[in-house]
């Protein structure tokens, strides 16, 4: 694990703390999630829910997870055998890869990728086969069909897909997902989908890969309360899928954390059951912040790429004379008091992302405005 060093999120948040810069680097909201959820957590803590919960998660949360998947994505699951609660999506991803891969197996993924993917694949002794997302003529991040087809082969064990996608803000279209599904069926591979931003799609629609023909039986679908309910520090996530796959994840989880977040589990169950208005309001709030940041970054002279989902947007630094995102982000706090994240670190083929940086917009509007007014000093 020596090559993995310290994650960029820790490095950039430490830089923000040290310099007092506005932190649009690490993605975490600066306002709390729904009051009903916070009250339920306080009640559970005071009410004695403080010992080990059952390994798959408490029944009320497992039922809430399946009801939410049915309500929003039309997926029907058995809450007793097809759900496991995990320590955030991060543990679900690691446990899924450790459960499904043998050393030497290949994992097809898209780069740039969320940084835990490479580490989890390495922990399993597996090999990543990244397919590069590149801004196309419209600015949307796209992949080359031939490159994706070529990434699949005899050793492919699974495809690891994140949509909506961090750090690009790409939302995979139905046509793109159809192609991925076709390749999974053709090569008889599993799919592990990271859908933590499932409620943050601004223009199009979120389509779970598991909902496509022939995919339900081969897909582990992962999500987390952290994003949807603005509680990234709680680390309550889950994986859903066919019973044999979920049982394999449970077998690994037993020895990673065993169980997690006892008193927070009933609170997340309350949040998942909130009326539709909560979810539409959450999306609308982030859409407004995205629009505010995108227009501010554009005014500041950056070439902003479209963000269709998540709470991130990427921008090209070349119009401001930048060439290397890592250098640019390390200097940004001193130059203007703002922290961003270089997306280069999320690629194996780092050249593809050298000039791109990522900003998070899960922040109050006044914080976004302040960051923009500081960035304008760069021109």
Q: In the complex, which residues of this chain contact ligand GLN (CB under 6 A)?
A: 7, 9, 26-27, 166
Specify the pairing of strand 219-224 against strand 237-240. antiparallel
Q: Kindly write out the interface string for residues 30-69 of this chain, putting x where it contacts ligand PMP by CB under 6 A and - elsewhere.
A: ----------------------------------------
> Which lies closer to ligand GLN via its Cβ, residue 270 or residue 293?
293
Nearest to 310 by CA among 167, 193, 200: 200
Tell me the closest approach of the beta carbon of residue 10 to ligand GLN, in angstroms.
7
**How far from 303 is each of 10, 21, 315, 320, 323, CA to CA, in Å?**
26, 22, 5, 9, 13
Check residue 224 for interaction with ligand PMP (CB under 6 A). yes
- Ordered alpha helix ranges (H), the chain: 8-19, 35-46, 59-73, 88-100, 116-123, 145-151, 174-186, 225-228, 243-256, 265-272, 276-299, 325-336, 365-375
26 binds, among ligand GLN, ligand PMP, none (CB under 5 to 8 A by kind): ligand GLN
223 binds, among ligand PMP, ligand GLN, none (CB under 5 to 8 A by kind): none
224 binds, among ligand PMP, ligand GLN, none (CB under 5 to 8 A by kind): ligand PMP
Check residue 114 for interaction with ligand PMP (CB under 6 A). yes
**How far from 111 is each of 8, 101, 346, 378, CA to CA, in Å?**
16, 20, 7, 29
Residue range at the interface with ligand PMP (CB under 6 A); choices 175-183, 231-239, 249-257, 331-339: 231-239
> Which lies closer to ligand PMP via its Cβ, residue 68 or residue 235?
235
88 binds, among ligand GLN, ligand PMP, none (CB under 5 to 8 A by kind): ligand PMP
237 binds, among ligand GLN, ligand PMP, none (CB under 5 to 8 A by kind): ligand PMP
**Which pairs count as long-range contacts for 45-53, CB under 8 Å and 24+ apart, including other chains?**
45/263, 49/262, 49/263, 49/265, 49/266, 50/262, 50/263, 51/262, 52/258, 52/259, 52/262, 53/85, 53/259, 53/260, 53/261, 53/262, 53/265
Check residue 163 for interaction with ligand PMP (CB under 6 A). no
Tell me the closest approach of the beta carbon of residue 320 to ligand PMP, in angstroms.
26
Check residue 240 for interaction with ligand PMP (CB under 6 A). no
One residue of 132, 166, 228, 230 binding ligand PMP per CB under 6 A = 166
Tell me the closest approach of the beta carbon of residue 30 to ligand GLN, in angstroms.
13
Residue range at the interface with ligand PMP (CB under 6 A); choices 87-95, 170-178, 284-292, 316-324: 87-95
Check residue 196 for interaction with ligand PMP (CB under 6 A). yes
Check residue 346 for interaction with ligand PMP (CB under 6 A). no
> Which lies closer to ligand PMP via its Cβ, residue 268 or residue 297?
268
Does residue 184 contact residue 161 with C-beta atoms inside 8 Å? no
**How far from 103 is each of 68, 100, 124, 374, CA to CA, in Å?**
35, 10, 6, 48
Check residue 306 for interaction with ligand PMP (CB under 6 A). no
Q: Which residue number has the CB closest to ligand GLN?
A: 27
Nearest to 84 by CA among 270, 249, 260: 249
298 binds, among ligand PMP, ligand GLN, none (CB under 5 to 8 A by kind): none
Q: Which residue number has the CB closest to ligand PMP?
A: 88
Phi and psi at residue 316, in whole multiples of 5°?
A: -90, 130
Check residue 193 for interaction with ligand PMP (CB under 6 A). no
Please, which residues have CB within 8 angstroms of residue 77's CB and are 6 or more apart in sequence?
66, 69, 70, 83, 240
Whole-angstrom Cα Rg for the chain = 20
Check residue 353 for interaction with ligand PMP (CB under 6 A). no
**How far from 248 is each of 22, 78, 92, 125, 253, CA to CA, in Å?**
42, 16, 11, 17, 9
Which residues form the interface with ligand PMP (CB under 6 A)? Answer: 88-90, 114, 162, 166, 194, 196, 224, 226, 232, 235, 237
């Amino acid at each position: 694990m020596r090559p993995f060093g310290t994650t960029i999120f820790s490095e950039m948040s430490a830089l923000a703390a040290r310099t007092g810069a506005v932190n649009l680097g690490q993605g975490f909201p600066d306002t709390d999630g729904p009051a009903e959820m916070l009250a339920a957590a306080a009640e559970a803590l005071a009410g004695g829910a403080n010992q080990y919960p059952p390994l798959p998660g408490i029944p009320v949360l497992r039922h809430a997870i399946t009801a939410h998947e049915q309500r929003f994505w039309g997926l029907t699951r058995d809450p007793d055998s097809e759900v496991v609660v995990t320590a955030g999506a991060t543990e679900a991803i690691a446990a899924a890869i450790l459960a499904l891969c043998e050393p030497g197996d290949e994992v097809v993924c898209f780069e740039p990728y969320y940084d835990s993917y490479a580490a989890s694949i390495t922990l399993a002794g597996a090999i990543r086969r990244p397919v590069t997302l590149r801004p196309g003529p419209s600015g949307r991040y796209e992949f080359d069909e031939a490159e994706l087809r070529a990434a699949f082969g005899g050793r492919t064990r699974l495809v690891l897909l994140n949509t909506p996608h961090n750090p690009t803000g790409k939302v995979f279209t139905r046509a793109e997902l159809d192609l991925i599904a076709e390749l999974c069926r053709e090569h008889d591979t599993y799919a592990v989908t990271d859908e933590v931003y499932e409620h943050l799609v601004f223009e199009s629609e979120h389509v779970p890969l598991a909902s496509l023909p022939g995919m339900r039986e081969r897909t582990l679908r992962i999500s987390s309360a952290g994003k949807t309910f603005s509680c990234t520090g709680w680390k309550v996530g889950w994986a859903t899928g066919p019973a044999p796959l979920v049982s394999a994840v449970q077998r690994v989880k037993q020895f990673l954390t065993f169980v997690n977040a006892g008193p927070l589990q009933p609170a997340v169950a309350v949040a998942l059951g909130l009326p539709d208005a909560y979810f539409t309001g959450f999306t609308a709030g982030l859409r407004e912040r995205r629009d505010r940041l995108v227009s501010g970054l554009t005014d500041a002279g950056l070439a902003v790429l479209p963000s269709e989902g998540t709470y991130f947007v990427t921008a090209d630094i070349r119009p401001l004379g930048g060439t290397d995102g890592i250098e640019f982000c390390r200097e940004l706090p001193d130059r203007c008091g703002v922290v961003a994240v270089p997306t280069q670190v999320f690629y194996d083929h780092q050249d593809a992302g050298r000039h791109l940086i990522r900003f998070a917009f899960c922040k109050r509007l006044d914080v976004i405005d302040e960051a923009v007014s500081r960035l304008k000093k760069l021109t």
